[in-house]
Amino acid sequence: MLCRSLLVLLAGLLLVQAHGVDLSLQKRQVAAKSYPPCGTSPPFDPAWSTFLSGALDTGADITACGNSKTWSLTYDDGPSEYTPGLLDQLDTVGVKTTFFVIGCNVANNPSILRRAYQAGHQIGIHTWTHPSLPKLTSEQIVAEIMWTAKIIRDITGQTPTYMRPPYGDIDARVRGLLHKMGLKVVIWNRDTDDWELQTFNPNAQNSSQVVTPTSVRASISSWIASPPAEGIISLEHDLFQLPAQIAGETLQRVSMAGFNINTVASCVGTAPYNNTAIEVIFNPAIASSLSKAPSTTASASANSTATLTASKSPSSSPSPSAGSIRASLDWSIIGTIALVLLCSQLDVSNAF
Ligand SMILES: [Zn+2]
């Protein structure tokens, strides 16, 4: 009886440790890599110069989705602490949408990005620091994209092929650069202006607040009643509480109205990811230089903030190393085997 109890106890410990190794390794996969700070343009890697040469092609941006009964819900600027609530609702409704994420916010919320990806939602690039791209140099534009692509790749194993420029700001130079990087540019044809709700004050006495929850809901109502023939790509945000809350309401209403809700990649009919650029993204020299300076280290515990500031910490992770965890797991296995052998010996004397 004693042997059986000890075996059950050891087996339980084994399971817990095995699970711990899995989670720790997942966290470590991101935490061990350093990323640029959020306040300034991320560094440019000379290896990316290949994107700067040659003619810039032009092409149409993606603004619509299919036909009048299709609707692509897109959420920008996350992931944030409000994203999981939206993901819960998406799970309940059972549809897939698109998140255009900010690299700095991904660094602060890697587990939320991982959840969104694993749930089957499309992950797209929305830059590292959310600048207006036409105001940047070409090197800065490429760096904004590449660092965001890198952290998404580090967490999901996938490199996005779709991006949305912050504020929808784009010109021929920016578009040409993005196309050269293999990216499809997604704008929208319906804008809720919900981002303005971040400063909404329900107790304000004056009527200067143009965008209110009521006005956003009215916009959605009109779009549902009269959808454009080319379908809808709507713009919403999951960085702040009120916009994220209304995004959840909108999801329910669009679904109830019978629209076919799709990711942008599904609308366009091409793959959401393409990993052929990985070798360019993973340049060891630039990663090494970052490890010598203060940098943003992805942490599941840090919070996303309105100003897109990120926690700064040394690149080394204080968590136990994978090697030490694996060693303790090995000893648990050895202990379990030894106990089984011992118990089988004692079994002869009916001690089991
Ligand atoms: Zn944005």
- Catalytic residue chosen out of the listed positions 76, 77, 194, 238: 76
- List phi, psi (to 5°) of 176: -60, -40
Between the alpha carbon of residue 166 and those of residues 106, 131, 296, 324, the distances in Å are 16, 6, 21, 43
CA of 94 to the centre of ligand 1 (A): 25
CA of 100 to the centre of ligand 1 (A): 8
pLDDT of 159: 92
Share of the chain above pLDDT 90, in %: 52
CA of 165 to the centre of ligand 1 (A): 7
Q: Is 237 a catalytic residue?
A: yes
Instruction: Report long-range pairs for 5-9 (Cβ below 8 Å, ≥24 apart).
Output: 6/339, 6/343, 7/336, 7/339, 7/340, 7/343
Q: How confident is the model at residue 39 (pLDDT cuts 50, 70, 90)?
A: confident
Its CATH architecture, for the domain 46-290, is Alpha-Beta Barrel (3.20)
- Catalytic residue chosen out of the listed positions 126, 130, 237, 238: 237
pLDDT of 180 over the 80 cut: yes
pLDDT of 287 over the 70 cut: no
More confident residue, 299 or 312: 299
Mean pLDDT of 322-335: 40
* pLDDT tens, residue by residue, 187-231: 999 998 888 787 777 666 556 667 888 889 999 999 999 999 999
pLDDT of 94 over the 50 cut: yes
CA of 217 to the centre of ligand 1 (A): 20
* pLDDT tens, residue by residue, 115-168: 999 999 999 999 999 999 999 999 999 999 999 999 999 999 999 999 999 999
CA of 77 to the centre of ligand 1 (A): 5
Average pLDDT, the chain: 77
| 8 A C-beta contact, residue 216 and residue 196 | no
